[in-house]
Amino acid sequence: MAILVLTIQTAVWAQTAEYDISELMGKADIDLYGEGINLRKEAHDAFVEMKKAAYQDGISIEIVSSYRSFDRQLAIYERKYLQYTEDDGMDPLAAIDKIIEYSTIPGTSRHHWGTDIDIIDSSKNTEGDVLVASKFEEGGPFADLKVWMEEHASEYGFYLVYTNESKRRGFKYEPWHYSYAPLSVPMLEIFRRKNILQLLVEEDFIGSEFLTTGFIKTYIRDNILDINRVLL
């Protein structure tokens, strides 16, 4: 029932909402709300309600990443590109393939929209990187968070983006990455109507000369569009 209601609502949002391509690529200043939250107002309010509900059940949801500008995503991308090509000796295309296991090409991140969050349970102690899939599985520090989100996140409009479905392509499974569907669904609908291929061809950053037309078409199909179907 929740999915049906969301689908009906999305049709209305897609007709009434409009977002400039500069917003969708993280190149425009947008209003963000909440210290340590940094989401659009509607997504922020829904997250706060979700966080309160989870806290009542002993889960302390903490956002470790939300909005990212184009420049921030560019810095992440280029840092990894240089690490893989210069430090690890990988050829450019292999380096890019490695990057897009978890990170996006600048301008295509859902984190540009102010709707998506990477989360952990801050009440649990853990060492090293926190955004590791095994830490969300049984026996891991964030296993209870994963179960709670599976049961309740949709009540607040949040859905897992990169699922662990065996046939899904593109980015690897990310049990920490959720999207506020009432905003992100119409945003993706608008974004996919743009000429994403041309937009990326026009960008100039380290390694961009290796992003061939064929590569970008595959990236759009696998990494941008092969996601949780509720979010399409």
Give 36-58 pLDDT, tens digit per residue.
Answer: 999 999 999 999 999 999 999 99
- Cβ(125)–Cβ(135) below 8 Å: no
Distance from C-alpha of 98 to C-alpha of 29, rounded to nearest angstrom? 30
User: How many domains in the chain?
Assistant: 1
Tell me, what's the pLDDT at 148? 98
Distance from C-alpha of 111 to C-alpha of 178, rounded to nearest angstrom? 10
For residue 190, give its domain range.
2-231
Residue 156: burial class (beta carbons within 10 Å; 0-12, 13-18, 19+): buried
Quote the radius of gyration of the chain (alpha carbons, Å).
Answer: 18
CATH number for the domain harbouring residue 30 = 3.30.1380.10
What are the Cα distances from residue 70, in Å, to 38, 75, 84, 118, 127? Answer: 15, 9, 21, 17, 29
| b/e burial code for range 118-138 (CB count within 10 A of at least 16 → b) | bbbbbebeeeeebbeeebbee
Amino acid at 42: E
Structure tokens at 21: 């391509």
Tell me, what's the pLDDT at 16? 52
Q: pTM score, two decimals?
A: 0.92
Q: Which residue ranges in the chain fall short of pLDDT 70? A: 1-17
Tell me, what's the pLDDT at 59? 98
Tell me, what's the pLDDT at 191? 96
Adjacent-strand bridge partners of 63: 119
Nearest to 171 by CA among 77, 99, 118: 99
Tell me, what's the pLDDT at 3? 46
Grouping H, G, I as helix, E, B as strand and the rest as coil, residue 211 is coil
